[in-house]
Amino acid sequence: KQWYQRRVRGHLHKMKWLRFASRRFIATTMHPEKLFVNSDLSQRYAKYRPRLPFEHVETIVNKLLIRAPKLWIDVGCGPGNSTQQIIGYSQKIIGVDISETQIEAAIKTHDHPSLSFVKGSCAAIPAEDESVDVITAVQAAHYFDLPAFFAEVSRTLKPGGVVSLICYPDPTIKTSTSLSSALDYINHQFLGDYFPDVRKKYFSTRYTSIDLPFDRHTEHTIDLDIPISYPELLDLISSWSGFQNYCNEQGLSVEDGVSVIDREMMKFCSHSVAKDDHVLSYTCTMVSAVKEDAIE
């Protein structure tokens, strides 16, 4: 009997390890072209993800560039939330994303003569050599093949051109300590193994650990406060890549996955918290590099 119990315990331990290993494999081998392919997800992404702050756009235009931009390319543009913030600052703006679903959503949502969207990747920026004034990537660079991306940045940027990477990791809830703790638990523990390791690496340093090209580097940080209800917070979480991977592994629909997240969150909070309006707070960091040999 004792021998049998030891065998059972050993088998259960092995199965637990295999489940953990499978989660790690999913997280570390995740491909961005397989994410954000659902149209409903694109809608939630567009509705709840923060936009590129105008303060960062104006820093690029007024402090980093030496000329008014004629061509601005936003790589990893998603549904165009941040790309449309650039309207009025550049003569021509191109949003690029590897997801056809996201590009379709961007085209349907944003219509302006200076703005266009194309399917493409960070390793093949759709521009001629030294033809681009600004290249941005908002909450996307952690998915990139960075050496390939920076090779394209070096090829396509004009002398004096700017590349800026923007991230807004690890939001908190200003209006409720318990809800903020619940959000932190979901982000770092419950879904933690379903995010890629490179995301955790670069988010922990707010992109400042990324080895940018060129010699002239700058860093700018601002705080963003966004009104949000509890149901909207759940929808925001459902737009995270870690949530998608969790649902895929568990065989859950988005609705069932959201129900699981809701139950986990309520372990930290009273149900009255879910009825209140809240403020979601981000620290939005922009790291930039200016291509050398600028022409005055």
Query: How many alpha carbons fall within 13 Å on the CB side of residue 69?
Result: 31
Which residue type sits at 142?
Answer: H
Instruction: Please state, in angstroms and rounded to a whole number, the distance separating the CA atoms of residues 91 and 52.
Output: 18
- Per-residue pLDDT at 292: 84
215 vs 157: which has the higher pLDDT: 157
Give the dihedral of Cα atoms 204, 36, 43, 61; nearest 10 deg: 50
Which residue type sits at 236?
Answer: L
Among the listed residues 120, 117, 63, 68, the one whose alpha carbon sits nearest the alpha carbon of residue 89 = 68
- Per-residue pLDDT at 204: 85
Phi (first) and psi of residue 165, to 5 degrees? -110, 125
Residue 264 pLDDT exceeds 90 = yes
Q: pLDDT per residue over 81-105, tens digit each?
A: 999 999 999 999 999 999 999 999 9
- Per the CB < 8 A criterion, the answer to whether 137 and 153 are in contact is no
Those residues with Cβ within 8 angstroms of residue 91's Cβ, 6 or more apart along the chain or in another chain: 69, 70, 71, 114
Three-class SS of residue 169? Answer: coil
Residue 130 pLDDT exceeds 90 = yes
SS (H, E, C) 159-181: EEEEEEEEECCCCEECCCHHHHH
Q: pLDDT per residue over 203-221, tens digit each?
A: 888 999 999 999 889 999 9
Residue 265 pLDDT exceeds 80 = yes
pLDDT > 90 fraction of the chain, expressed in percent and rounded = 71
Q: pLDDT per residue over 42-68, tens digit each?
A: 677 677 788 899 999 999 999 999 999
Please give the average per-residue pLDDT across 180-193, as a whole number: 96
